[in-house]
Chains A and B, each alone.
Chain A
Amino acid sequence: MRTLLLTSLFALSPFAVAQDLRRGLTDADAVLVGRQVGKQAHDEDVALHRVQLLLDVRGGRGATTVTVLDWPKLSLHQRPSPRQTRLYCLADATATAQRLGLPAADGPYFKMVGWAGSNPLVGVEPAKDPFVLFAQMLAAGDNGTSPTTTAAALCKLALGQEPVLRLEATRYLTERPDLRSHLNQLEWTQLLSRASGEVDDLPHKIALAELCGEQRLDGVFDALMISLGQVTDAEYARTVGRIGKALHGEQSSGKLTERLRAAAQAADREALLLALGASNTQSALDALLAMDGQDAAVEAALREHRSPRARDAVAKKRK
């Protein structure tokens, strides 16, 4: 049996790492640092992993060892790894254990959550491991730490050097308007600057763009458009197009076409056209339909629009 997990809805590039640790941390009933120390079969369908607790981030119920249910016939890619110390995001499996007739004395029983990236390896000093610190930060944020403190820590992480955690922190801020409302002007300036200037880590750039777009910062759409062409990644262009629509609706196409008129480089033009198509507005469609359909960049933009009329236009021009 195999599972298919959902990664972020929002950021994707050929370099993107499936990464939803924050969702695992927030969805889990227990977040623990543990080491798998044993495994035994319950029956042909179920195996029981004994995981020794090294650090209880939250929900460990004071246990020193927990049992994690596994299905050996399944290829769940979130599965306890023998003898490795990892961060575990666990869902309560007490009811399943009872149905299977497992002894209460071997509890508490858990199973692993499905979010991708939610079972990272942890270093030899768990208390200093950045993933554990991130987990503790989120747990503390839900347990009394002031939102200003948590938001500032997340912002620092989002602007930091660790690729996975800066992506996680950025996306977490996007998903938590209550926290990001505590960021100050300087922090927002830094985040927008990074969103506009980042050229290497494109998933991070996209996540930052979405964060700034979600906050509706003044001038954010213009700032993000500047990178179009400098960054040729299609996913970034799509993101900018969607942010434009979210912020300016039908008027976003006017801003994009205005910039298009001034685009000197072919890469700039292609990226702006792609963003125009991805904005998926009627005005964008009208603008694209009025352009030269034999132009490959226009055709690509029409494909990006995805509407039946755009598809028809591409099909007709192909004939």
Chain B
Amino acid sequence: MIGTRRPSPERFPLVLAAAALALLSAAGCGGGGGGGGGGGLAPTITSAAFVGGGAPAVGNVLLLTFSEAIVLSGSALTNDDVVLSAGASLGSVTAPPTQPATNTLSLLLGTGVSFVPGTTTIALGPGNDVVRNSLGRLGTGGTPVVIGTSDGLRPTITNVTIAAIDDALNGTGPAGGTLQLPPNGFTIDVAYNDNSAIAVDSTRITASVAVATSAGTINAGDNLRPFLTTVRADNTGASYRVPTTTTFPNGPVTLTALVTDISGLGSTPSTFAAAVATFRNELRPFETNANASQIWFLDFSRDVEQFATSAITGGLSVDVTQTANGRADFVDLLFILGLAATSPLPNVQGNRDSNEVTQDLFKQALLVRLGELYAGCNVQFTLTQPAGNFGTSASVAYSSFGFSRIAIGGAPSSPGVLGVAIFDDNNATQNDNTRLDFSGTRLGIFLQTIVDSGFGPPASSLFRQTFAPFTPGFGGTPIGGNSQDGQRLLGTLTDGRSDAIATAITDLAHFCAVVTAHECGHSMGLVQNGAMPTGLYGNDSTNFPGSSDGHIRNTALFPAGSTNVMSPSLSYTAAINASTAFNSLNLAYLREQVFYGN
């Protein structure tokens, strides 16, 4: 998601100061080649647009857009200052150019003007003594650009960010902070608009520091875009990934984006400040030397209690007896809900009865939703116990073996809790969230909380309306209690009950997936308190009202009815909302595009 607020340079005085020093330092070294620019140490023309129709004539306007802010000498910009393609001329220009924007000049063409819009090219020449940058360096050279015909409106960059992180979370918002990036692997995202179309091949991305690439070092200010992987580039925005062959140096960096429309009009540059640091294994949540990926084993086998419903005024209560009954607590709750029947239909799918098929469908939907929530992250969920043993430890070194695990079971050890997991900074360890007694606290996912709460009044709640048709305690017929339910489960019979069955299974799975994603998120380092680069803005209830220790609520960033997965509390309706997701910063962390700590 790309926001709409541009960063305020005043927010990053130290970063900008460092950037300026880097430019001065590079200038002192004399620059060098590479990239598509003219050395990055002086302004170059990035686009040119003729304002008018037909052939250029005396008094018409030519707009030149530059790679950076420019300072004009006050003299006229003439043929002596530029290099035009063969046979072309600006005419006898007499008036000094004006400056409609910090990086744009406007000149009045003179007598004898002769060029062909759409064909003629222009660049600053070695004789330029009119255009300097803010450091006083005269512009020269650069890749010649074709002079287009202006459509009258310059494109506007509305946002530059990293990894599609919202402004509220990328350091430009009131919460402050500075994103900490690995040397590569992140995306640079630009949002813009224009009245016509963007010449995406003319987009420039520059950095305030020299960057190592497959073609050697690209100096500060030179165009990096040829050394970035284009994920998307269209008329509303672009996303460029920094590949492993392009490496930013440690330290502060200011990225600058500039776009040009197809008529040759260029935007004002827009910047984004961040900091690059070494992505050490201890800070990297999914370092791959030890394990190819983070695997989560979802353990449904916990059996420490059993459940029964009792009538309360206006609903049912789900009562807990702390005695194992030889059946998983999760399955016990499916019986309470009516998603399992005491006399299931046999052989619904092969030799699997209706209860087993229902559970298969539930688990399949759970894994699919978890896959959606963790899309692009090096995290996998499995229903099969991988090799390895936690023994008596709740946490073991990350390299010990390849998985963490979490129990999906019944009741919590404190009322009102849906899940408890070990918090693990930067995912430094493998964690066992199946423990029943972590110094007096039970770990895992506790579905009894939602079922007990959901069975209470009002009868019009989404939970009641979804599950009551199956719940024996409400007079419902459990899945498998109707002779045609097998066909409904397999999709060979479609009717109102088949819709209701599918909805109940899917909704419960989606709810469980969000709670699981939340708890596993904690055990992979979410949501560290503090602003970037210390943390991920956890516990900042001033800027993100409703946040608490280790959690962040981002109401403003999500559509009505949905929520950030790592919110401190969760409603059933929000959990099953399709727009519920990790916030953009949490997702960038999970995708290893940003990281916290030092």
Contacts and interface: CB of A to CB of B under 8 A. Distances in A.
Interface of A: 1-18, 20, 23-24, 27-28, 43, 45-46, 69, 71, 73-77, 79, 91, 93, 96, 99-100, 111-116, 118, 174-178, 210-211, 213-214, 233-235, 238-239, 242-243, 245-247, 280, 282, 285, 303, 306-310
A3 B457 contact: no
Interface string B480-507: 0000000000010010101110110011
A28 to B, nearest CB: 8
Given A2-B519, A5-B569, A96 B440 contact: yes
B423 A4 contact: no
A1 B438 contact: yes
Nearest to B460: A246
Report which residue of A3, A175, A282, A310 has the largest number of chain B beta carbons within 10 angstroms of its beta carbon. A3
Contact of A112 (B314, B414, B422, B567): B414
Given A9-B463, A114-B414, A238-B561, 9 more contacts: A4-B417, A9-B450, A14-B558, A27-B415, A74-B423, A75-B538, A75-B549, A77-B549, A100-B440
Contact of B561 (A5, A12, A246): A12
Nearest to A244: B460
Contacts of B420: 1-4, 74
Given A6-B453, A10-B461, A1 B573 contact: no
Report which residue of B416, B461, B502, B558 has the largest number of chain A beta carbons within 10 angstroms of its beta carbon. B416
Given A27-B415, A116-B416, A308 B498 contact: yes
20 contacts: A2-B550, A3-B420, A6-B449, A9-B572, A11-B571, A12-B573, A24-B416, A71-B439, A71-B441, A74-B420, A74-B441, A93-B440, A115-B415, A118-B416, A177-B457, A178-B313, A213-B458, A214-B457, A214-B458, A246-B459
A80 to B, nearest CB: 12
Contact of A20 (B416, B419, B496): B416
A1 B496 CA distance: 43
Contact of B573 (A9, A20, A174, A308): A9
A174 B458 contact: yes
A20 B553 CA distance: 17
Interface string B542-584: 0000101111010110101100000111111110001000000
Contacts of A247: 460
B519 A4 contact: yes
A86 to B, nearest CB: 14
A224 B553 CA distance: 30
B502 A308 contact: yes
A116 B569 contact: yes
Contacts, number: 214
Interface in B39-63: none
B522 interface: yes
Contacts of A177: 313-314, 457
A91 B313 CA distance: 24
Given A243-B460, A246-B465, A75 B418 contact: no
Contacts of B457: 174-175, 177, 214
Contacts of B449: 6
B569 A10 contact: no
Report which residue of B419, B458, B518, B538 has the largest number of chain A beta carbons within 10 angstroms of its beta carbon. B458
B515 interface: yes
B422 A210 contact: no
A91 B440 contact: no
A233 B450 CA distance: 25
B421 interface: yes
A13 B491 CA distance: 34
Contact of A9 (B416, B423, B438, B454): B454
B552 to A, nearest CB: 11
Contacts of B556: 14
A18 B569 contact: yes
Given A93-B440, A210-B460, A242-B465, A8 B417 contact: no
Given A9-B463, A214-B459, A307 B499 contact: yes
B456 A175 contact: yes
A233 B561 CA distance: 9
In the complex, the 5 A-B pairs of residues with the closest C-beta atoms, listed nearest first:
A75-B550, A77-B548, A114-B416, A307-B499, A115-B416
A4 B518 contact: yes
Given A2-B420, A4-B515, A177-B457, A9 B462 contact: yes
A99 B499 contact: no
Contacts of B417: 3-6, 114
Contacts of A75: 423, 522, 538, 548-551
